[in-house]
Structures are given as C-alpha cells and as structure tokens.
C-alpha cells in the first residue's frame, strides 16, 4: 500500500524555529527558518522565503447557448519585467478574499471587473498556485451568464487603480488562444480546460 504524499509527512516532522519579516509594504514577505526530519531520521535546518498575499478566488463565466466566455485583459507588471512585451494579460476574473468568504468575494469581483451580476456560482476546486514561494490558495468557480445579467460596464475599481478591459469571446477562440500561447495565465488555462472537459 502506497502512502499518500500529502499525508505521509506528520506535523511533528517540521518545526518552525524563526520567522523574520523582510517586507510588509503591499503584502508580507517572511524569511522562515525551520527544521525538517528526513525519512532516515536525520534533521536539516533550512531557511526559505514565503510571500503572503492572502487567499483568492477566480471565476470563468460561460454561456452554453451562445458558446461564449467572459475574460478580462489588464496590465500585469511582473509579466512585463519577465518577457511580456506589453505587460497585458488575458485572464479570468479574480480577486483576493480579504475578510470575505470565497463565494461572496467572487460575486463582488465579477460585478466590479466584468459588469455581470451573477447569482449561483459553482466551486470546482482549490489550488496552490505557486507553492514554492507563495502561501495563496485560490478558489476556482464557474458560473453561467446571460446578457441580461449585465448591470454595468465593469472595468474594476478606480480607487484600486484597476483599468480592466472586458472580453467576450467564443469558447473555441479561447481554447485556441491556449494552443497559440496567447493565454499564459495559469488560472485561466485551468478554468478553460475544465470547461473544455466538463461543459461543452
């Protein structure tokens, strides 16, 4: 019988020895020193940095009758400094939870960013998006939309310096943008592939 890799490491195998805050400007960057007991019983002392920006939620709006999806496009500085010539990224609507539960958060973010007011949302899974360095868990949702749900132009919150373009495109076009490499955002690829496998 094989051990489940997610449960074979007990909490007693890891001890946090020291935590230092390296930056607390926008979010929190910590340097953590810890001990880790290996399978052979030997103990390692290691230091790693972990970036804590809170947890988030993301959603893909889709319409099976029209065979369309709603995506967004906005400037993302980290992509610009790592090879994205324009810094613009096509992605699914998303936001940080702050003090909200994930469903309330994603309904609010959907209306702010896309202008669509959705009712029922379906949670499909959770995922750590960059577990080697970022603490965030992202809650993934899908929801059906119709034109009558459009209550505003969307575009995000001006006070948060958001400048978001709302995109409505055919499902097949969106799937093809993954194949061509024009969609590079991980959460968006995951949501579109879920749609491809389970909805169409």
Q: Is 41 left (phi over 0), alpha (psi -120 to 50) or beta?
A: left
My answer on whether 19 and 90 are in the same domain is: no
Helices assigned H by DSSP within the chain:
77-80, 102-114, 171-179, 186-198
Segment-wise mean pLDDT, segments of 10 residues, the chain, 200 residues: 50 87 94 92 93 96 97 96 96 93 95 93 97 96 96 69 86 97 97 92
My answer on whether 108 and 190 are in the same domain is: yes
pLDDT of amino acid 178: 97
Q: What is the CATH number of the domain that holds 93?
A: 3.90.79.10
How far apart CA 186 and CA 164 sit, in angstroms, is 18
My answer on whether 98 and 18 are in the same domain is: no
My answer on whether 157 and 62 are in the same domain is: yes
Question: Which residues does residue 125 pair with via DSSP β-bridges, in sequence order?
Answer: 140
Could you tell me if 30 and 37 are in contact, meaning their C-beta atoms sit under 8 angstroms apart?
no
Residue 189 located in a structural domain? yes
My answer on whether 98 and 82 are in the same domain is: yes
Q: Looking at the 3D structure of the chain, how many domains does it have?
A: 2
- What does pTM read for this prediction? 0.89
Residue 183 located in a structural domain? yes
Question: Which residues does residue 18 pair with via DSSP β-bridges, in sequence order?
Answer: 33
My answer on whether 120 and 194 are in the same domain is: yes
| String of DSSP letters for 122-153 | EEEEEEESSTTTB--EEEEEEEE--GGGB-S-
Question: Which residues does residue 165 pair with via DSSP β-bridges, in sequence order?
Answer: 73
The residue to which tokens 């960057």 are assigned: 29
pLDDT of amino acid 1: 41
pLDDT of amino acid 155: 67
My answer on whether 114 and 155 are in the same domain is: yes
How far apart CA 28 and CA 98 sit, in angstroms, is 14
* Per-residue model confidence as pLDDT tens digits over 132-178: 999 999 999 999 999 999 998 776 665 555 688 999 999 999 999 99
Q: Note down the domain range covering 18.
A: 11-52
pLDDT of amino acid 2: 47
């Amino acid at each position: 019988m094989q051990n489940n890799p997610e449960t074979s490491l007990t909490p007693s195998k890891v001890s946090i020895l020291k935590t230092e805050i390296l930056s607390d400007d926008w979010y929190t960057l910590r340097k953590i020193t810890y001990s880790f007991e290996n399978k052979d019983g030997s103990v390692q002392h290691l230091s790693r940095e972990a970036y804590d920006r809170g947890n988030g939620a993301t959603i893909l709006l889709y319409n099976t009758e029209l065979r369309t999806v709603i995506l967004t496009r906005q400037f993302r500085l980290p992509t610009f400094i790592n090879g994205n010539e324009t810094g613009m990224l096509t992605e699914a609507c998303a936001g940080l939870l702050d003090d909200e539960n994930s469903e309330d958060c994603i309904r609010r973010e959907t209306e702010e960013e896309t202008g669509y007011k959705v009712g029922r949302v379906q949670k499909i899974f959770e995922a750590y998006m960059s577990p080697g360095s970022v603490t965030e868990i992202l809650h993934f949702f899908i929801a059906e939309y119709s034109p009558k749900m459009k209550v505003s132009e969307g575009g995000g919150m001006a006070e948060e310096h958001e400048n978001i373009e709302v995109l409505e495109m055919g499902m097949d076009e969106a799937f093809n943008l993954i194949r061509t490499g024009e969609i590079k955002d991980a959460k968006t690829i995951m949501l579109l592939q879920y749609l491809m496998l389970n909805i169409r």
